[in-house]
Amino acid sequence: MINDRPTQLRVNLDALLNNYNKLNELNNNKIGLAIVKADSYGLGAKVIANHLYQNGVRHFATATLEEALELKEVIQDSMVLVLGVTNPKNIKYAIENNISLTCPSITWLRECLSELETLDKKLKIHVKIDTGMGRIGTSDVEELKSIDRLLDSEKIDFEGIFSHYSNADGTDDIYDDYQTENFEEKIKIFTRKPKYIHIENSAGTVKYSNRDDCYNMTRIGIALYGCYPSENIEKLDKVRLEPVATLLSKVTHVKKFSQGEKLGYGVSYEAKQDEYIATVPIGYADGLLRRAQGFKIKVGTEDCEIVGRVCMDQLMVRCNENVKVGDTVLFYGEHNGQRVSIDDFASYQDTISYEIFCCISKRVLRIYYKNKMEL
């Protein structure tokens, strides 16, 4: 299979592992649950999970059962928790592959117990407590008491209980404190304590690293991939994360425009003077959002503005006369001593690094490397 297009997403597996280890050390070696959902935020879950596994990581989480089943090919004897809601009709696949599921409600648990009547092995579950996120899980005391009673079933392995901070990346602790207190009160309802108790996401993992609590697991998501959940978390200066992903391409065409000449769909750009325009083979079909128009990227060592509307497969930048076909273009990440912050790239587009990563489409080649060598 040929690869004729120079656009690529480079993933630094050394930086990935370093981030995981730094966050684990920060939290007094609580169990770090590596979040590899959504294809590891678009960076390639199989390669990433396998690399972490080969370096001793044994706890992972996905969003769906399908994602978990795919990863079991490379992390067979690890705990894999599905964070979303799984159809009870499919729990046999979780049992057969030793996958842990989230219990969001008493109704779900009852349906699972009905399915379990014809199955021999136990189903591992983590009960989800809704402490203020409002997404899945329950906060109803009577419902939680009913769940607790059903957990006595010989068909259930009550492996974990968890919740999720919704504002840990904010500027204060007020809502976090409310959720923490709510969570700890709800935990008391359960007559047995499970193996794993967790509430901290990436922001909570960093923010509350020195807290003395009953939790023994933290969920490491966006921080694993070298991004701070927010500027507030970065300012805490508790951990120096290493960038993991770099989006690169090359100039494929350069031409001179005269003052007043227009370009792009909707003739949205007009040359302010005689200037040079370079074309780069990446567009919104690759997941580079149209909102990136106007952002300055690196072409060689120069800061060059994206001009005209981002097209489906290509975009244009205003550059100087020294730019040539074949010059490297850096959208975000680090390359050859140059750096463009993905947070700046995301903020310019009124979004977050999570979305920027997840949007990069499959037609963009992923290149993995460690010890400065491509795999």
Active site residue 215: no
- If DSSP states are collapsed to H, E and C, what string results for 129-162? ECCCCCCCCECCHHHHHHHHHHCCCCCEEEEEEE
Number of structural domains (the chain) is 2
* Amino acid (one-letter) located at 309: R
**Is the Cβ–Cβ distance between 63 and 83 less than 8 Å?**
yes
Residue 215: the pLDDT is 93
Question: Rounded mean pLDDT of 63-86?
Answer: 96
Same domain, 185 and 265: no
Number of helices followed by number of strands (H, E) in the chain = 12, 21
Same domain, 261 and 291: yes
At residue 1 the predicted structure's pLDDT band, cuts being 50, 70 and 90, is low
CATH number of the domain residue 313 falls in: 2.40.37.10
- What is the span of the domain harbouring residue 303? 245-374
CA distance 200 to 164: 7
pLDDT tens, residue by residue, 81-126: 999 999 999 999 999 999 999 999 999 999 999 999 999 999 999 9
Residue appearing with tokens 């059903």: 150
Residue 211: the pLDDT is 86
Catalytic member of 265, 272, 324, 362: 265
Per cent of the chain over pLDDT 90 is 95
Residue 114: the pLDDT is 97
Same domain, 19 and 97: yes
Let me know if residue 86 belongs to a domain: yes
At residue 214 the predicted structure's pLDDT band, cuts being 50, 70 and 90, is confident
pLDDT tens, residue by residue, 22-42: 999 998 879 999 999 999 999
Residue 290: the pLDDT is 96
CA distance 80 to 137: 19
Same domain, 72 and 181: yes
Let me know if residue 367 belongs to a domain: yes
At residue 165 the predicted structure's pLDDT band, cuts being 50, 70 and 90, is very high
Let me know if residue 7 belongs to a domain: no
Same domain, 219 and 267: no
At residue 371 the predicted structure's pLDDT band, cuts being 50, 70 and 90, is confident
pLDDT tens, residue by residue, 308-333: 999 999 999 999 999 999 999 999 99
Catalytic member of 20, 30, 37, 332: 37
Residue 29: the pLDDT is 77
Domain boundary among 199, 229, 259: 229
Let me know if residue 123 belongs to a domain: yes
Active site residue 324: no
At residue 210 the predicted structure's pLDDT band, cuts being 50, 70 and 90, is confident
CATH number of the domain residue 106 falls in: 3.20.20.10
pLDDT tens, residue by residue, 268-304: 999 999 999 999 999 999 999 999 999 999 999 999 9
Task: Flag whether pLDDT at 253 surpasses 70.
Answer: yes
Let me know if residue 237 belongs to a domain: no
CA distance 19 to 224: 5
